[in-house]
Amino acid sequence: MPDVLLATDADWLADQCGAALSGRHSIHRIRRGADVIGAVAETDPDLVILDLQIGNMGGMAACLAVRQEEGMGRLAPRPVMMLLDRDADEFLARHSRADCWLVKPVDPVRLLSAVDAALSADPDPAPAPVP
């Protein structure tokens, strides 16, 4: 069962993601973007899902931090998905080097499909929104 790290301080979003992914994925949730690097190092998830709007350190900064740690060889590369607030935030997802993204609110079927696609994708694909 693939491990997914979900970083969000929004309980409603965590509930939606949990309902969509439970049973097929093991979900580890953290509430602070600043805790992402430590949680990735500790849990070694197969996928990281970042909410763009995390209170103390947003998804963009957290994604850049993950990519920096991977570039320095301190973390193994892994796919990162961002949950965006609006379509225009695609620029932020691309700039932060996220592998894929979805716009909230999260549709359970699309989320499950996007997670499965991200987990089966080749390393370092061109970033793309999930249809």
Residue 124 falls within a domain, yes or no? no
Residue 102 falls within a domain, yes or no? yes
Residue 61 falls within a domain, yes or no? yes
Q: What's the rounded mean pLDDT across residues 47-54?
A: 96
Instruction: Say if residue 73's pLDDT is above 80.
Output: yes
Residue 123 falls within a domain, yes or no? no
Residue 17 falls within a domain, yes or no? yes
Give the Cβ contact number of residue 9 at 10 Å: 16
pLDDT reported for residue 121: 72
**Type and span of the H or E element at 3:** strand 3-7
Instruction: Say if residue 125's pLDDT is above 50.
Output: no
Domains in the chain, number: 1
Domain boundaries, position 76: 3-118
Instruction: Say if residue 7's pLDDT is above 70.
Output: yes
If you average pLDDT over every residue of the chain, what do you get?
Answer: 91
| Global pTM value | 0.90
Residue 128 falls within a domain, yes or no? no
Instruction: Write the pLDDT tens digit of every residue in 54-72.
Output: 988 999 999 999 999 999 9
Cα 8–111–64 angle (5° rounding)?
A: 45
- Residue 50 maps to which CATH number? 3.40.50.2300
Residue 129 falls within a domain, yes or no? no
Residue 112 falls within a domain, yes or no? yes
Instruction: Name residues whose C-beta falls within 8 Å of residue 121's C-beta, 6 or more positions apart in sequence.
Output: 79, 99
d(CA 48, CA 98): 10
Q: What's the rounded mean pLDDT across residues 6-26?
A: 94
